[in-house]
Chain A
């Protein structure tokens, strides 16, 4: 089955802008913020949020990059064919006593976020961790909920949600595709 577009590029941009406003609104200011993007698209999303905040409030919020491969809960399963690639996390600032906003493209089972929380805890003791996602597609398997959501997209289990970003994919949209049996 072909992937079909559910959100276009400009709606994606607007969702990110709204999240930026909501971060300002709920944080009562933007001091002590650190964005941490979960590898690949989460990092680009975090960078975009930081850029919007800079344009609006003339403030530089640090952006860290997090690789959670080593913290995945499925990497010890013997029949798991994909060998986790280990690339270093890159977070320049000390996250202790900071308000960390974890950023990812799609929130699904919550397992990636769980791994990210573990990874963060190994780096320091943040004052608070919030979660911003571009898409919440439901089907959580852990007690995790996002604080900032771009789009709520109800999905079936056998569907795949894909976020494409200019910086990585060369175009922008959100698509849904049915996984072939």
Chain B
């Protein structure tokens, strides 16, 4: 038995499709992801908090959902838009269907839409707010109120409320959670890091009280300018401890050091984004999920060095501080989903720490 559902854009365009998953009504910015696979990781990625996620790949749900690939405990994606939902999930790891998963988490889904033509529209007209609704009445309601977007604090919602450890036997790393993907913890675990995860509201004093060898600023949802409290923390911490920022963490690192960010026309979401390492001209294909970026012209006045650049639109993809052992990247070295080209950045982070500690021990003796 199929139920109708509508995807309504704020410009008044209405697409009729078929409902699946949760039954709630939702609104959020409509974004598109170009990955062929990895829908589970994307839907559970907190960076999609409050966004309606549309997949350009035509068949979604074919390998189901398993309990190993989640990127967070509770997905906060506002809705899922697919061209064709697989009738049956088939994979040896599959433990439930995508529809069942979305139902469990009360995330509405819609299928039987031409997601590629909608994507073309967003690409030409820019990002817009949209809604997933079930009745004509609700369409009307949304279009009447679509000017106001709800102003909940996405980062606070996605972040952990309390500090928690992810123990191991290696270097002590504090991860500040702005909506972190579990894969960041996985990558640190692989490298034996002894991790403490702190909430997004952590102060410099709280961060430093763990005597960390290094600090990682995680990814997260929304506009970096909505997290002003982080900037003071970053400015203090970067002078004391090697720092590594990913995605939102990268944008916060940039803001903290005097650069500016802007909202992109339609963002980078997918995992075929080529980036160039400026020092060597090495090209990596990277997983990305961001709707904001650091403004290139704002770098000039700062103490930051541009280290990576997107090849298609030349946006800034990596920065490094000119005085402190601190660096950041806009893309996801943790991949999941996506290519592992850039996973060496976690090694670079740890090597930075070791090198910094060696240098410091020399200068203490001098």
Asked if A25 meets B323 with Cβ closer than 8 Å, knowing A56-B307, A145-B362, the reply is: yes
Which residues from B are CB-within-8-Å of A14?
A: 344, 347-348, 351
- From DSSP, what is the main secondary structure of chain B's interface residues? mixed
Contact of A18 among B278, B351, B362 (CB under 8 A): B351
Q: Which of B322, B351, B358 contacts A24 (CB 8 A)?
A: B322
Asked if B320 and A21 sit within 8 Å, CB to CB, the answer is: yes
Q: A14-B344, A28-B323, A145-B362 are in contact. Are A55 and B279 (CB under 8 A)?
A: yes
Docked-complex contact B324 and A17, CB < 8 angstroms: no
A162 at the interface (CB under 8 A from B): no
Say if the beta carbon of A149 comes within 8 Å of chain B. yes
Residue from the list A24, A55, A147, A152 in contact with B281, Cβ < 8 A: A55
Q: In the assembled complex, how far is the CB of residue A141 from the closest CB belonging to chain B, in whole angstroms?
A: 19
A28–B321 CA distance with the chains assembled, in angstroms: 11
Are the C-beta atoms of A18 and B307 separated by less than 8 Å?
A: no
> Quick one: which of B323, B344, B348, B355 has the most chain A CB within 10 A?
B355
Task: Type the 1/0 row for B349-360, where 1 means its CB is closer than 8 Å to any CB of A.
Answer: 001101100110
**A147–B355 CA distance with the chains assembled, in angstroms:** 10
Cα A13 to Cα B351 in complex, Å, equals 13
- Chain B: residues with Cβ within 8 Å of the partner, total of 25
Contact partners of B344 in chain A: CB under 8 A:
10-11, 14
B190 in the interface (beta carbon within 8 A): no
B136 within 8 A of A: no
**B104 at the A interface (CB under 8 A):** no
Interface positions, chain A 1-39, Cβ under 8 Å from B, are 10-11, 13-15, 17-18, 20-22, 24-26, 28-29
The docked-state distance in angstroms from the alpha carbon of A56 to that of B322 is: 11
Residues of chain A contacted by B351 (CB below 8 angstroms):
14-15, 18
Known: A14-B344, A14-B347, A52-B280. 15 other contacts (CB 8 A): A13-B280, A13-B282, A14-B348, A17-B279, A17-B280, A18-B348, A18-B352, A22-B325, A25-B323, A26-B359, A52-B279, A56-B279, A56-B307, A152-B354, A152-B358
A-B contact count (CB 8 A): 55
Report the 5 A-B pairs with minimum CB-CB distance, sorted nearest first: A52-B279, A17-B279, A55-B278, A55-B279, A56-B279
Are B305 and A57 interface neighbours, CB within 8 A?
A: yes
Q: Classify chain A: how many residues form its interface, as a range.
A: 20 to 34
Contacting residues, chain B, for A55 (C-beta < 8 A) = 278-281
**Residue from B282, B321, B355 within 8 A of A149 (CB atoms):** B355
The CA-CA distance from A130 to B279 in the complex, in Å, is 21
Please tell me if the beta carbons of A24 and B282 are within 8 angstroms of each other in the complex. Answer: no
What 0/1 readout, one digit per residue, does chain A (55-67) give for beta carbons within 8 Å of chain B? Answer: 1110000000000
- A149 near B358 with CB under 8 A, answer yes
Query: Would A56 and B362 count as touching, CB distance under 8 A?
Result: no
Kindly name the residue among B277, B280, B358 whose own CB sees the greatest number of chain A CB atoms within 10 A.
B280
Complex Cα spacing A27 to B341, Å = 31
Per the 8 Å Cβ criterion, residues 247-306 of B in contact with A are 277-282, 305
Can you report 25 A-B residue pairs in the complex whose CB atoms are below 8 A from each other? Answer: A10-B344, A11-B347, A13-B280, A13-B282, A14-B344, A14-B347, A15-B351, A17-B277, A17-B280, A18-B348, A18-B352, A18-B355, A20-B279, A21-B279, A21-B327, A22-B325, A22-B355, A25-B321, A25-B324, A26-B359, A28-B323, A55-B278, A56-B279, A145-B362, A147-B359
User: B279, B307, B325 — which one has the most chain A CB atoms within 10 A of its CB?
Assistant: B279
**Chain B residues positioned under 8 Å from A52 (CB to CB):** 279-280
